[in-house]
Structure 1
């Protein structure tokens, strides 16, 4: 009941900001809930939508353990998994007003709040996993993590979310032509909508929690995600075709509310930042293992896994890059990403299997 009350209170505060008279009181109540001082201990609440078996959840558990170790028990992180406190979008909104302290979201969802993040959702913008890590671990990644501060969202680190590929209830999606007449579930991302349109399909932003039923009932014909998410969600039970075209490599982002971050002492901020960065390295190892296990598990469950030629997909989305010329900041980020590492390869040639 307390969580429900605080959630409703925060939603009221966010949607009815004109009631400025109540803003100070709401801020006090919300920050007290998301970052509490219990005697000499600082407690931060972290909410996310993933199952407890997911590599990202395990990495966040590791982070919480490291924070407790580093602080000698003076700082703790309480984790609320499996959408207990809302969807990714709702969690971001609650972060913006400090109702919860931390969350994990996809960069695709972040683009609705901090527009420059859309660059990470562009199909085939990364040549391979090495290029992906070079970008996230370098200056571009740092700039994007700081970018969210303008919107009360501070990025602590990126988590690897692998490559997203298509799965379907009807047939393999081995060429763009296979998408014609099909409705594909995507995240609430304009970039994802544009990508599906470029491939000739129709996009639908069904929520993650409702997707199994939507696939089962034919509301959508397919979806796209990485192997561990496809497996852990049990979508393989109703989608028997998985095509590894690997159109995007969209990272997850560990966020903290700037309201909460600014309430921490410099020492607490250091403990948290260090633990987050350590957890990101652990998560990459966990993710690599999870991908191998998930692919084998879905094959064992009777899913047909194919590896289509990526070049036809990549060619169709090239115009998306030029469409951002009217958004100078995003277009500049695209050029910086493409120039990172080996600049001689083109997007098409670099994405051939």
Structure 2
């Protein structure tokens, strides 16, 4: 996280600069007034890293403001789909929400797809150097501009590194051919898995345990905390885990930009400090849980193996380049590659 503080400082500096350009306060109306922030994510498990991150956001914001800012955290209670949460963010039913690249691209912010392409990141260190640096700052500006200030980025969270798990281990790319694979069924990600020979298949997350049990799908992919908490590894079609490491995932902590602009300068600064603390806490929680749930999976009888990722990476590179060209993000892709 060596560049995290720098990124958040730049975001905060930009916020305060804009505030200083207006009369006494872009948000003078909120000066000294107490505010309540409703913060929500779509996971219902109290052990989820998202919950850890938002609880930290709440504690720091309330402590630093000495009660001037109250934060109400919702774990799946405002909606278990991202579309519900973002709709509430736009309409004022929520003030801070967490979303994935897939939803953001559906909202017309195509550049976001760059962060979700297979093998665009090759380690946590690489991912952090990208999102906490110049590229992350550029993406934050794109999000704010293209959403017409509906979305302002508070920080980049992680949902772990995603791996294959299925009815048999992968020793090479040949082993995935013909397998019904629960993943995205359209776009660059689906195209990538089709080229490996897999058959991308759609199954709702809440129905995936049953889908693995009943052979609706032969395999799926996700990070350890998510699929182990759901006991997918205990099914016959989920017990073999191959560490493909194809996606170091990005999640976006967003605030309603228009509402944020009505807060006092002091409140804005505290919110950004709380966001920085939440980023550090959530990422730490992800790393700890990945180790914890990997061990749990093995204890429960799952089998884990590594694989030569190079053929998978080589297959991904032209797809990355094609997608970057289509969405006008070729320069950003080059910067990402230079940071490896």
Structure 2 length as normaliser, TM-score? 0.83
CA distance change for structure 1 residues 327 and 232 in 2, over 3 Å: closer, same or farther?
A: same
**Aligned ranges 1:274-353 → 2 under 5 Å:** 274-324=273-323, 326-327=325-326, 329-341=328-340
Aligned residues: 303
**Aligned ranges 1:1-353 → 2 under 5 Å:** 40-50=33-43, 51-82=45-76, 84-113=78-107, 114-149=109-144, 150-151=146-147, 152-168=150-166, 170-187=167-184, 190-238=187-235, 239-324=238-323, 326-327=325-326, 329-341=328-340
Distance in 2 (alpha carbons) for counterparts of 1:147 and 1:174: 40
Distance in 1 (alpha carbons) for counterparts of 2:262 and 2:184: 32
Q: Report the equivalent of 1:31.
A: none
CA distance change for structure 1 residues 109 and 196 in 2, over 3 Å: closer, same or farther?
A: farther
Deviation at 1:40, TM superposition (A): 4.5
CA distance change for structure 1 residues 306 and 320 in 2, over 3 Å: closer, same or farther?
A: same
CA distance change for structure 1 residues 328 and 292 in 2, over 3 Å: closer, same or farther?
A: closer
Paired residue secondary structure (1:161): coil
Does the 8 Å contact 1:42/1:75 carry over to 2? yes
Does the 8 Å contact 2:122/2:248 carry over to 1? no
Distance in 2 (alpha carbons) for counterparts of 1:258 and 1:133: 24
Does the 8 Å contact 1:109/1:188 carry over to 2? no
Moved more, 218-227 or 94-103: 94-103
- Unaligned 5+ residue runs, structure 2? 1-29
Does the 8 Å contact 1:106/1:253 carry over to 2? yes
Of structures 1 and 2, the one scoring higher in RCO (CA 8 A, sep 6+) is 2
Paired residue secondary structure (1:111): helix
Does the 8 Å contact 2:41/2:75 carry over to 1? yes
Distance in 2 (alpha carbons) for counterparts of 1:75 and 1:236: 42
Deviation at 1:187, TM superposition (A): 4.8
Deviation at 1:88, TM superposition (A): 1.6
Structure 1, residues 8-32: CA drift from partner, whole Å, max 9, x if none? xxxxxxxxxxxxxxxxxxxxxxxxx
Give the ranges of 4+ consecutive aligned residues of structure 1 lying more than 4 Å apart after TM superposition. Answer: none
Deviation at 1:284, TM superposition (A): 2.3
- Unaligned 5+ residue runs, structure 1? 1-36, 342-353
Structure 1, residues 197-244: CA drift from partner, whole Å, max 9, x if none? 121112234332232222223222221111111222222222211110
Distance in 2 (alpha carbons) for counterparts of 1:69 and 1:79: 15
Structure 1 length as normaliser, TM-score? 0.80
